[in-house]
């Protein structure tokens, strides 16, 4: 992808990028909607990512380009309004730039910018966080600066929360920032604190992207967030991570049915994350697989963020040889399913899953075989 980025940068901006940064997409392994509830989550940085090239300008103009959009978006150096329509992708790097400036971090006044990606958008692999972190590293490198990784990750989340307007937790940016090859990232979102959980050898990730997306997905995500906060208030805790199953049971009659169901999922899911962490350390993949399946069923029943397409994929994958477990990955309401497999599951197995999906829905999911990778990094420094 580095060569692709350089060639595209030359074609669009008629010069070489001075700095290049890359950040990986991520798989939410287990811990669905636990992050903004203060819980724990496990995720994997993957070998697909977003690459950003940047070259400084002396005239204060900011020119944004992307391999996924034909048009060049040009903004003044003092622009701070959110872009709309086909230019809205610019909000991720622009938001990162603005929160860095607000934090007193020096950023380039003018620049030519280009992003290229092999992370499929809308697949629940968080191309947005990868774009934020790679942009942040490029802005820093252009000024010959660096930041502690935790601060960079927090700025990425702040950009998405406060500028883009998505009330996400730290999962996406944390995994993209702290990823390590052959490992999962464990995040305790209360700190947040970041740790590494080694993965047993011989495992593969398969992602099945349905290309389905609920028309109201952004509103539904915000609605779930609100219901979780409502549940915490009704139970009498600051965040659901502080609630026990017993406290939830005692508060059930005080909660709306929706708030109770969201809390039930989150409280149980946090416990599943810790059990999965212990099982991974012990090499008990059978238990890990059961926990993944239980996570999906809880998302479907209690959090109600699954779909018929996602449910079918999980059911079909569960019956396949070599599949330890499968679950929706990401925010839900469409998107993708992740399967954790041994080498016994291969392209033939993936084809059978595709055929079952075709028989039901008349289309085929995109199939991505992914491996763990390292987190966000600077690829080329400023001269």
294 assigned to some structural domain: yes
Residues 123 and 239: their CA atoms lie apart, in Å, by 28
Residues 13 and 52: their CA atoms lie apart, in Å, by 13
315 assigned to some structural domain: yes
Please write the tens of the pLDDT for every residue from 57-102.
Answer: 999 899 999 987 778 999 988 888 888 888 888 999 999 999 999 9
Number of structural domains in the chain:
2
Cβ atoms of 30 and 291 closer than 8 Å: yes
For 43, residues 6+ apart whose C-beta sits below 8 A from its C-beta are 26, 27, 28, 29, 31, 171, 174, 175, 179, 184, 185, 187
Residues 212 and 197: their CA atoms lie apart, in Å, by 32
Residues 251 and 237: their CA atoms lie apart, in Å, by 11
Show the CA angle centred on residue 270, arms to residues 267 and 273, nearest 5°: 155
381 assigned to some structural domain: no
377 assigned to some structural domain: no
Q: Are residues 247 and 273 in the same domain?
A: yes
Cβ atoms of 3 and 34 closer than 8 Å: no
Residues 113 and 149: their CA atoms lie apart, in Å, by 22
Q: Are residues 74 and 172 in the same domain?
A: yes
| Range(s) of the domain holding residue 96 | 2-197
Using CA atoms, how far residue 91 sits from 21, 154, 161, 323, in Å, is 18, 17, 11, 38
Q: 116 — phi, psi (to 5°)?
A: -130, 150
159 assigned to some structural domain: yes
Q: Cα 34 from chain centroid?
A: 13
Residues 365 and 383: their CA atoms lie apart, in Å, by 43
Q: Are residues 155 and 265 in the same domain?
A: no
**pLDDT digits (tens), the chain, 383 positions:** 899 999 999 999 999 999 999 999 999 999 999 999 999 999 999 999 999 999 999 998 999 999 877 789 999 888 888 888 888 889 999 999 999 999 999 999 999 999 999 887 666 677 889 999 999 999 999 999 999 999 999 999 999 989 988 777 788 999 999 999 999 999 999 989 999 999 988 899 999 999 887 654 568 888 999 999 999 999 999 999 999 999 999 999 999 999 999 999 999 999 999 999 999 999 999 999 999 999 999 999 999 999 999 999 999 999 999 999 999 988 888 889 999 999 999 999 999 999 999 999 999 999 999 999 999 999 888 77
DSSP label at residue 7: H
Q: 172 — phi, psi (to 5°)?
A: -65, -50
Q: Are residues 126 and 264 in the same domain?
A: no
Q: Cα 179 from chain centroid?
A: 12
pTM of the model: 0.89
Please confirm, yes or no, whether 67 is among the known catalytic residues. no
Of 47, 78, 112, 172, catalytic: 172
124 assigned to some structural domain: yes
């Amino acid at each position: 992808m580095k060569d692709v980025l350089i060639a595209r940068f030359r074609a669009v901006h008629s010069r070489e990028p001075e700095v290049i940064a890359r950040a990986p997409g991520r798989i939410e392994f287990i811990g669905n909607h636990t992050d903004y509830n203060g819980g724990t989550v496990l995720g994997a940085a993957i070998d697909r990512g977003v690459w950003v090239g940047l070259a400084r300008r002396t005239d204060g103009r900011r020119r944004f380009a992307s391999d996924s959009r034909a048009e060049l978006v040009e903004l003044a150096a003092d622009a701070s309004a959110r872009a709309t329509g086909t230019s809205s992708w610019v909000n991720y790097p622009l938001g990162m730039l603005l929160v860095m400036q607000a934090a007193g971090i020096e950023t380039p006044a003018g620049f030519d910018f280009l992003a290229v990606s092999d992370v499929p958008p809308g697949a629940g692999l968080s191309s947005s966080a990868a774009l934020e972190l790679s942009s942040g590293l490029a802005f820093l490198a252009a000024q010959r600066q660096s930041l502690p990784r935790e601060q960079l990750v927090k700025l990425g989340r702040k950009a998405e929360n406060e500028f883009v307007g998505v009330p996400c937790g730290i999962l996406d940016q944390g995994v993209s920032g702290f990823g390590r090859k052959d490992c999962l990232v464990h995040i305790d979102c209360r700190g947040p604190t970041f740790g590494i959980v080694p993965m047993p050898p011989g495992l593969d990730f398969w992602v099945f992207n349905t290309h389905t997306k609920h028309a109201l997905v952004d509103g539904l995500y915000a609605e779930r967030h609100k219901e979780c906060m409502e549940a915490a208030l009704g139970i009498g805790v600051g965040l659901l991570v502080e609630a026990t199953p017993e406290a939830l049971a005692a508060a059930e009659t005080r909660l709306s049915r929706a708030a109770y169901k969201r809390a039930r999922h989150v409280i149980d899911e946090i416990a599943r994350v810790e059990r999965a962490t212990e099982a991974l350390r012990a090499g008990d993949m059978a238990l890990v697989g059961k926990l993944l399946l239980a996570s999906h069923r809880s998302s479907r029943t209690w959090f109600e963020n699954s779909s018929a397409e996602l449910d079918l994929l999980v059911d079909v994958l569960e019956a396949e040889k070599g599949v330890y477990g499968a679950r929706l990955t990401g925010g839900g309401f469409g998107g993708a399913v992740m399967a954790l497999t041994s080498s016994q599951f291969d392209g033939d197995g993936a084809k059978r899953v595709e055929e079952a999906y075709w028989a039901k829905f008349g289309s085929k999911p995109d199939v991505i075989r992914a491996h763990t990778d390292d987190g966000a990094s600077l690829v080329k420094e400023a001269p």
